[in-house]
């Protein structure tokens, strides 16, 4: 059957994922591996469709560029879109494959780094011109498919010039180059109607503190973010900037260590009006936290912006970026998510890669179907817990002593330390009150 013109614009001339139709919701009884069992985009959960809750995005770098190579071995994935030796043709083929995949999986968004979309050129100007060509192409694809850009970013960590950092480099010339690259990436993001812009500082940190002036580097980082933000605003960008915390890897220590560190940094350098957080599961665990903890810290500050979905491995300590599948962990996260009122401007981006030995093209589908399904299922469970169980009351009761009498006065700042001393002297030893942890835990299991 001849393709319509619109279909050709979305898919390109060639179909890469042959035989795989658009993935539909078929429910948990379906045995079709190419169907959603839980993610039903139009289903309302707490007054909002699943599609609007999650705003799922596909990560260009892992899904269309990640060839399975690792420090111990050559690439294992022979992506048919990465065959041309002409960088522009290869980037266009990759984009054809990307929009075919994103449309078939039914994700409303994608995310990219400048260099995922097209390889860098020999100069900054050459890179900018390549990005122009590819963003022109992307605009047509976005228009034909309805797929939107959740966020753009610049890769300031792969090129050897950034070996000592980008915005935190001890050499101003490198900082300037990074600035040029960020300007191009911001221009591309604005051109594509990107809703947000991300800074992840893989090399914004140090390898040895001995040769590092930490104070100067962090001051420079703040200065860099200020001028990047000012530039984007001057070009009409209305979206949010996200900082993505990670404690280490590739640097020994990264300045954007975790939620709490980034929030303190944003406050110290007066960036809170424009920046929020993009939190990643595997980064949380690398920092020694649960993802629910990271989300809660951000939510407390009103800065829960966006999520990079993946998972680590409990038996080893690096950023394995596996697809999420832990229902219990995600349910805890969705409790935080729902009670925070969702994400501020962002969505859920699958910053995850299929394993090195998952070499079939359809593995990319299974990975994303599984990821979207586990989020949907966790959302349903968390919503049930909040609506049907005693969870909220139990939590409320735990703090009830602050809603009356002296407790209420304390929270309003009406008691001094001498007052506390007097109250304690009069009352004597406080009663022991159980934290009921096991009972709380059982509620999750009950609603799964």
- The residue among 308 and 332 lying less far from ligand XLS, judged by its C-beta, is 308
Nearer to ligand XLS, 217 or 351 (CB): 351
Query: Pick from Ni ion, ligand XLS, none: which does 114 bind, CB < 5 to 8 A by kind?
Result: none
Q: How many residues belong to the site for ligand XLS (CB under 6 A)?
A: 10
Shortest approach of ligand XLS to residue 200 CB, angstroms? 4
- In angstroms, the Cα distances linking 329 to 23, 241, 253, 441, 444 are 26, 27, 26, 12, 10
The one of ligand XLS, Ni ion, none whose footprint includes residue 153, by CB under 5 to 8 A per kind, is: ligand XLS
Catalytic residue among 53, 62, 113, 289: 113
Q: Which of 96, 116, 187, 256 is catalytic?
A: 116
Q: Report in angstroms the alpha-carbon separations of 309 from 263, 371, 374.
A: 21, 8, 11
214: three-class secondary structure by DSSP: helix
Residues ≥6 apart with Cβ < 8 Å to 414: none
x/- contact string, 199-238, with ligand XLS (CB under 6 A)?
Answer: -x--------------------------------------
Chosen residue from 55, 92, 203, 246 binding ligand XLS by CB under 6 A? 246
Subset of 98-127 contacting ligand XLS (CB under 6 A): 113
Residue 280 within binding range of ligand XLS, rule CB under 6 A = yes
CB of 184 closer than 8 Å to CB of 128? yes
The question of whether 113 is a catalytic residue gets the answer: yes
CA atoms of 31 and 81, how far apart (whole Å): 30
Question: Toward ligand XLS, which CB reaches closer, 147 or 307?
Answer: 307
What is d(CA 214, CA 170) in angstroms, rounded to the nearest whole number? 10
| 351 is an active site residue | no
Identify the CA nearest to 242 among candidates 192, 189, 312, 290.
Answer: 189
Name the residue number minimizing CB distance to ligand XLS: 200
Which secondary structure element, helix H or strand E, spans residue 25, and what is its range? strand 24-25
Rounded CA separation 255/263 (Å): 12
Active site residue ranges: 113, 116
Q: Which residues bind ligand XLS (CB under 6 A)?
A: 113, 153, 198, 200, 244, 246, 280, 308, 319, 351
């Amino acid at each position: 059957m001849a393709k319509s013109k619109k279909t050709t614009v979305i898919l390109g001339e060639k179909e890469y994922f042959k035989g795989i139709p658009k993935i539909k919701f078929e429910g948990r009884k379906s045995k079709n591996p190419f169907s959603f069992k839980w993610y039903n985009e139009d289903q309302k959960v707490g007054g909002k469709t699943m599609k609007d809750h999650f705003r799922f995005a596909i990560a260009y770098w892992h899904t269309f560029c990640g060839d399975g190579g690792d420090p111990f071995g050559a690439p294992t994935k022979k992506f048919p879109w990465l065959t041309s030796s002409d960088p522009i043709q290869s980037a266009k083929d990759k984009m054809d494959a990307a929009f075919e995949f994103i449309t078939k999986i039914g994700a409303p968004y994608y995310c990219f780094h400048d260099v995922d979309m097209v390889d860098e050129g020999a100069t900054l100007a050459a890179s900018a011109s390549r990005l122009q060509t590819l963003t022109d192409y992307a605009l047509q694809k976005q228009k034909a498919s309805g797929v939107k850009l959740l966020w753009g970013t610049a890769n300031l960590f792969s090129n050897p010039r950034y070996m000592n950092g980008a915005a935190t480099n001890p050499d101003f010339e490198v900082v300037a180059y990074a600035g040029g690259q960020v300007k191009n990436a911001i221009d591309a993001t604005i051109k594509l109607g990107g809703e947000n812009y991300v800074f992840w500082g893989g090399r914004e940190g140090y390898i040895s503190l001995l040769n590092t002036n930490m104070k100067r580097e962090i001051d420079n980082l703040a200065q860099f973010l200020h001028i990047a933000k000012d530039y984007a605003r001057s070009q009409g960008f209305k979206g949010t900037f996200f900082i993505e915390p990670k404690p280490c890897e590739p640097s020994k220590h990264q300045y954007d260590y975790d939620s709490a560190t980034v929030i303190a940094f944003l406050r110290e350098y007066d960036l809170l009006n424009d920046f929020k957080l993009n939190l990643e599961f595997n980064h949380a665990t690398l920092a020694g936290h649960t993802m629910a903890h990271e989300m809660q810290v951000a939510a407390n500050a009103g800065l829960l912006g966006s999520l990079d979905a993946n998972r680590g491995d409990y038996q080893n300590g690096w950023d394995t970026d596996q697809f999420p599948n832990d229902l219990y962990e995600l349910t805890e996260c969705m409790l935080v998510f729902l009670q925070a009122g969702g994400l501020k401007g962002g969505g859920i981006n699958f910053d995850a890669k299929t394993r090195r030995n998952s070499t079939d093209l359809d593995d990319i589908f299974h990975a994303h179907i599984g990821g979207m399904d586990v989020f949907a299922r966790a959302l349903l469970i968390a919503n049930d817990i909040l609506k049907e169980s005693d969870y909220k009351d139990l939590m409320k009761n735990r703090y009830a002593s602050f809603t009356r009498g002296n407790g209420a006065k304390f929270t309003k700042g009406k008691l001094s330390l001498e007052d506390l001393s007097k109250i304690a002297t009069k009352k004597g030893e406080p009663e022991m009150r159980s934290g009921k942890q096991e009972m709380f835990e059982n509620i999750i299991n009950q609603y799964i």
